[in-house]
């Protein structure tokens, strides 16, 4: 299991690095694919993966990435509204065979998975995006790694004893501090490429800390859903890691936070 997890993790990391460097259409197609897979995984947990309302969720995901590729981020809300109206139309004209309980998780999944992940592409396409996009991963994966190490070393006080017994308050503090430190180092190394920030090291450290903090919420939110539905993993797509939702749970929450923080902190 260890080697399986290590090798699949290394492959996923290599693919992620390559696509972040390439950006553009390859990155968009990758994000669209993992959004659809992640959405299917979540819908399967809710038991609606093949229900008519979920079809509108899949179509909304495709429409979302289509308008982003066209450079029309201003139309994202329109696509979401159209998908919601389609779900409600299915509900109305299929009633009573379809219940409100089929539509509510369909809307939730579209926002939770597809919309949130799309902010990776929006960050990469923004000003200095080839560098600012890495702050998403520094925040999420940097925080997770540092939290794990600190928690194993000095963790004593449980942060969420029922939801995630292995997570500690000390680990959480260490994770946020670690993400901030990695962000600071990143800002120092890439300060010339992050000229839009008045103070790149400080901006990256702040972004790392904020993103790291919210990434833990994303991780716990995904765990809460799994516990509600009594499942261990969302899927088996990534050997040793589970499904897309298991590996990108913290990224889902971090991506929009980094996008807006970067937009706010740039000149």
Sign of CA dihedral 182, 188, 193, 195: positive
- Residue 120 inside a domain? The answer is yes
Q: In angstroms, rounded to a whole number, what is the distance separating the alpha carbons of residues 214 and 143? A: 10
Output the pLDDT for position 29. Answer: 96
- Residue 140 inside a domain? The answer is yes
Count structural domains, the chain: 2
Q: Are 110 and 80 in contact (CB under 8 A)?
A: yes
* 259/137 same-domain check: yes
Q: In angstroms, rounded to a whole number, what is the distance separating the alpha carbons of residues 67 and 57? A: 15
Q: In angstroms, rounded to a whole number, what is the distance separating the alpha carbons of residues 158 and 199? A: 36
- The closest of 121, 215, 109 to 172, measured between CA atoms, is 215
- Residue 6 inside a domain? The answer is no
Structure tokens at 126: 């923004």
pLDDT, one tens digit for every residue, the chain (267 residues): 555 666 776 787 788 889 999 999 999 999 999 999 999 999 999 999 988 899 999 999 999 999 999 999 999 999 999 999 999 999 998 888 888 888 999 999 999 999 999 999 999 999 899 999 999 999 998 998 899 888 888 878 788 877 887 888 889 999 999 999 999 999 999 999 998 899 999 999 999 999 999 999 999 999 899 989 988 888 777 766 678 888 888 999 999 999 999 999 987
- The closest of 128, 126, 123, 178 to 150, measured between CA atoms, is 178
Helix (H) or strand (E) holding 242: none
Choosing from 105, 125, 145, the residue where a domain stops is: 125
Output the pLDDT for position 100. Answer: 84
Output the pLDDT for position 23. Answer: 92
* 84/207 same-domain check: no
Question: Do you know the residue count of the chain?
Answer: 267
Q: How many CB atoms lie within 10 A of CB 86?
A: 18
- The closest of 65, 59, 56 to 121, measured between CA atoms, is 65
- Residue 4 inside a domain? The answer is no
* 145/105 same-domain check: no
* Owning domain of residue 39: 24-125
- pTM assigned to the model: 0.93
Peptide bond into 229 cis (omega under 30): no
Q: Are 219 and 247 in contact (CB under 8 A)?
A: no
Residue 81 CA from chain centroid, whole number? 21
* 211/245 same-domain check: yes
Phi, psi of 8 (to 5 degrees): -65, -35
- Residue 238 inside a domain? The answer is yes
The owner of tokens 């929009």 is: 256
Structure tokens at 100: 């409100």
Output the pLDDT for position 186. Answer: 96
Q: How many CB atoms lie within 10 A of CB 47?
A: 12
Structure tokens at 214: 């919210």
Structure tokens at 254: 């971090």
Output the pLDDT for position 65. Answer: 97
- The closest of 185, 146, 184, 147 to 166, measured between CA atoms, is 147
């Amino acid at each position: 299991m260890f080697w399986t997890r290590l090798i699949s993790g290394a492959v996923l990391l290599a693919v992620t690095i390559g696509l972040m460097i390439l950006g553009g259409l390859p990155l968009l197609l990758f994000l669209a694919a993992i959004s659809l897979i992640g959405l299917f995984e979540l819908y399967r947990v809710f038991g609606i993966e093949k229900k008519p309302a979920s079809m509108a969720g899949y179509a909304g995901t495709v429409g979302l990435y289509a308008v982003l590729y066209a450079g029309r981020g201003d139309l994202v809300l329109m696509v979401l509204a159209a998908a919601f109206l389609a779900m409600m139309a299915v509900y109305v004209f299929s009633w009573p065979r379809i219940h409100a309980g089929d539509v509510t998780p369909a809307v939730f999944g579209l926002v939770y998975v597809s919309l949130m992940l799309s902010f990776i592409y929006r960050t990469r396409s923004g000003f200095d995006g080839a560098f600012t996009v890495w702050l998403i991963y520094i925040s999420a994966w940097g925080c997770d790694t540092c939290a794990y190490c600190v928690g194993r070393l000095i963790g004593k006080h449980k942060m969420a004893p029922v939801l995630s017994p292995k997570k500690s308050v000390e680990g959480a503090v260490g994770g946020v501090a670690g993400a901030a430190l990695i962000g600071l180092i990143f800002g120092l190394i890439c300060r010339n490429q992050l000229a839009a920030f008045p103070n790149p090291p400080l901006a990256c450290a702040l972004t790392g800390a904020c993103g790291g903090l919210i990434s833990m919420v994303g991780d716990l939110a995904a765990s809460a859903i799994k516990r509600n539905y009594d499942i261990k993993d969302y899927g088996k797509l990534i050997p040793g890691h589970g499904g897309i939702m298991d590996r990108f749970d913290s990224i889902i929450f971090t991506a929009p936070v980094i996008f807006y923080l970067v937009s706010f902190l740039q000149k």
